[in-house]
Every structure is written in C-alpha cells, then in structure tokens.
Amino acid sequence: MPSAEAEVPLLAEYSASADRLEDEHHSVVLSDGDDQRLGRRIWIESKKLWHIVGPAIFSRVTGNSMFVITQALAGHLGDLELAAFSIANNVIIGFDFGLLLGMASALETLCGQAFGAKKYYMLGVYMQRSWIVLFLCCILLLPLYLFASPFLKLLGQPTDVAELCGRVAMAMIPLHFSLAFQFPLQRFLQSQLKTGVIAWVSLAALIVHIFVSWFFVYRLELGVIGTAITLNFSWWVLTFGLFGYTVWGGCPITWGGFSIEAFSGLWEFIKLSAASGVMLCLENWYYRILILMTGNLQNAKIALDALSICMTINGWELMIPLAFFAATGVRVANELGAGNGKAAKFATIVAVVTSVIIGLFFWVLIMMFHNEVGYIFTNSKPILTEVNKLSLLLAFTILLNSVQPILSGVAVGSGWQSYVAYINLGCYYLIGVPLGFLMGWGFHQGVMGIWAGMIFGGTAVQTLILAIITIRCDWEKEAEKANMHVLKWADKG
C-alpha cells in the first residue's frame, strides 16, 4: 500500500501502529535486498494482518454470540422451541445472510482496490450503491420470511416445528432489513482499516442484546418469539452505531456525504454484486441444506437438534476464519490496487498458515471435550448422545474451514467472484449434496453420512481446487488487472 495511506485518519488507537506498519512494509516486504530475512518479513506481514484480524474476530464473535445466546435461551424453553429457532436461524436467516453478505462482498473488491489506489472519494459512492442494491434485494427476499411455515412444510419439516418457525421468522423481519445497511458499512470501514470501531460498536450491541434478552424472556415471559425479537434491537444498534461513526466525522476523506452518483452505474454494480452473492451464498447455503436434509430423517427432532448444536458451535468458531477471510480480502485488494503483486502473494501465504495453526488448536479442543460441548445448549440425554457422535465430523469441519475461507478471501480481493461461483456450484451441489444424500439414505448412515458426504465430497474438493488456483496465480498480472479495474469503476462514478 502506498505510504500516502497514512494521510487517511484511522482510529486513534490504531493510527500510530498503522503508520509504522506502512513504513515497515515498504522497507521490508517489497524490498528485494538479500539482507531482509524471511522471519522479519513474516513478522511485519503478521502485524499488518492482525491489525485487521484482531478487531474483526472480536466483532464477529460478539455478533454471532447474539445468536448463540438466543439459541441457548430457546433450548432451555424446550426441544420444540430449540428446533424452531434453530431452523429459523440456520435456514431462514442463514439463506438471507448468505446472499446479502455475498452481495456486500463486492465492496471488498471495489473499496479495497480503490483504497490501495488512493481513489478515496469513490469508497463512499460504492457503499451507497451497495445500500440501494441490497435494500431492493431485501424486498425481494421478504417472502422467505412471510411464507416460512408453508415453505418448510413443503420441504418435509415436522408440522409443529414448521409453524412455530414461521412465527419466529416473522418476528425477525426488522433484522432482515438491517443487513442491507450493516454489511456494506462493515466492508466500507474494513477496506480502510477502520476495524476498531466495528469491534467497539459490536460490543455495545452485545451488551444491549444481553439486557434485552433478559427483559423479554424472564421479565415479560414472551417465550421463543421474545427471543427472536431481541435480535432486532441488537442488530439495529450495530447498524446505527456504524452509520453514525461514518457520517459524523469518522471518515472525512472517504465519506463525502450522500451523492446522486450512487444512482449511476447501478446495473454494472448489480452484476458484480450478484456474482459476489452467488459465490458466497453457494458456500453459506451448503450447510443450510444439511439442516434441511436432516429434518427428513427418522427421529428428525433429535437429529436436527444435535446437528443444529454442532452447526452453532461450528459457526461460532467460524468467526475466526471469517475474520481472516475479511483481512485477506482487504490485504490482497489493497496491495493489488497499489500494484504490489508480490506483497499480495506473501499476505496470502501468511494468512493461510496462521489460520491453519488456529484451526488445529480448535480441532484438538473439540476432540478432547467432545462429551461436554452439548451441555451449553441442552440437558437432554438423547441429544447429548447424538452431539457426541457428531463431534468427530465437527472437528474436521473446523479444520477444513481454517483454509477454505482464506482462499475465498483471496478470490474476493482479486475480483474472481464469477469464476469461483462456478467452482462452488460444481463442488458443493454436483458432488457434495448427492454424495451426502447417498451416504445418508443409500448407505443408511443418517445424519453422520449426510454430513460426512458433504464435507469430504464438496468442501474438501472445493478447497483443493481453490488452493491450486491460488498457487498457480500470476500475481503481477493480477496487479495490472486491478489497476485497470479501479480506473474502469472510477469512470463509472
């Protein structure tokens, strides 16, 4: 990244370190001198990476903790309530998250490369375009919430679970619309290294969520519907907090106020957002399909509750790889936008190795405490027994997830979304889902067969293909493409 980046005001607690990292980056990472040692280069790049990853992990863990807290409350209300909220969370909200988060990731490419190229004004315009596109998408997705109950019945879910889940989904509609503004705000701030404010606002939202959850569930006794309503408060606190920081002086160079330019070039922006959405939602929806397939097994409630607990634990830990996903996307996009292909490659290597080490730690942790993890959510013996059986697959899923999101971050930072979307479609839905179906029903392995088939048939193959593409990448050529990409989108502004 150019040293002029230091002119962009960062959060007070990070500005000094960011400037030092910038100077060190130019003197170490980009230098071809023989006197620079590999260990020193790794240390410098790790500091730049963790400058983004640290706050990103915290903000993602706190955000996901809101759902974990709410699901834990639903679980202690009863098995039916746990199943209903789990489906609403993992399927309805999960599908929603997958598409909107993916569409917002277009900003990681555009804002990241523009920031690296010092086209600061365009960041605010890009974000406003994303608000418009995502809000329209939220309107189109409303039937997913309004007709959740008949939709789930059609997919074979138990009637009582589907009906209660439909009421829970209706209560979450305000949360649904908050995502159209929150996701672009987060990526806008991440792209310019303002990750600290996201962490602080996330902490405030978590505190609000804990208080509101206690009030609605224990004082007002609103049951599982009350638990769902609490999420609306906390997620809009997060959205308004990030918006207030952005428009009231936090981003004086990258936010120039509301602009009519946001309505120009919308069709091109929609196409890029759609490609990003397809790429990431195909990944995000993959394990939602696992939940739906499990709901069609015999003794579905026990299997569904156990799998939902494992998916919740996986989702909690996944916040760490997703933070690396965001950081890798920012680092790669910034460096490519600045024309530094070698630095983008080195950032990728450091991110993958660091994430794998963390993934191995959690793999060991799950293997050691596989008998105890289920007690966080339930005291039901049949469910705890099933969770214990699934813990081995949970551990290997966590291990694979320590690599795959980082490689997806490289794809986002480089602008490969359309290309990777085809890879995801083939690996997940032409290999993983059929293999999971075959092992689950054809070989009568139940939920373990479904999950194993989808992990080793889809996720592992996709990760291998992305690894090969990344290894064979011509990074200098990608830097040239990024420069042309920035100029093209600046002209559309």
Domain borders along the chain are 3-492
Cβ proximity of 274 and 100 under 8 Å: no
pLDDT band at 12 (very low <50, low <70, confident <90, very high): very low
pLDDT digits (tens, 9 = 90+) for 210-241: 888 888 877 787 777 888 888 888 999 999 99
Instruction: Kindly tell me if the per-residue pLDDT of 11 is higher than 50.
Output: no
Helix axes 404-414, 460-471, angle to 10 degrees: 50
pTM as predicted: 0.77
Residue 21 has pLDDT above 60, yes or no: no
10 Å Cβ neighbour count for 201?
A: 25
Q: Which two tokens stand for residue 440?
A: 């689950």
Give the pLDDT confidence of 295-337 residue by residue, as tens digits.
777 667 788 888 888 888 887 788 889 889 889 988 999 899 8
Phi/psi for 408 (5° steps) reads -65, -35
Q: Tell me the C-alpha distance between 31 and 227, whole Å.
A: 54
The predicted structure's pLDDT at residue 32:
47
- Buried b or exposed e, range 444-455, using 16+ CB within 10 angstroms: ebbbbbbbbbbb
Give the pLDDT of residue 491. 58
Give Dmax over CA atoms of the chain in angstroms.
Answer: 69
User: Exposed/middle/buried for 119, CB within 10 Å: 0-12, 13-18, 19+?
Assistant: buried
CB-CB contact of 333 with 360 (8 Å): no
Distance from C-alpha of 399 to C-alpha of 448, rounded to nearest angstrom? 17
Cβ–Cβ under 8 Å, residues 233 and 209:
yes
**Segment 18-39 mean pLDDT:** 49
Percent of the residues in the chain that have a pLDDT greater than 90, as a whole number: 26
CA distance 163 to 105: 33
pLDDT one-digit tens code per residue, 258-274 = 888 888 878 878 887 88
What are the tens digits of pLDDT across the range 339-395? 899 899 999 999 999 999 999 999 999 999 888 888 878 888 888 888 898 999 999
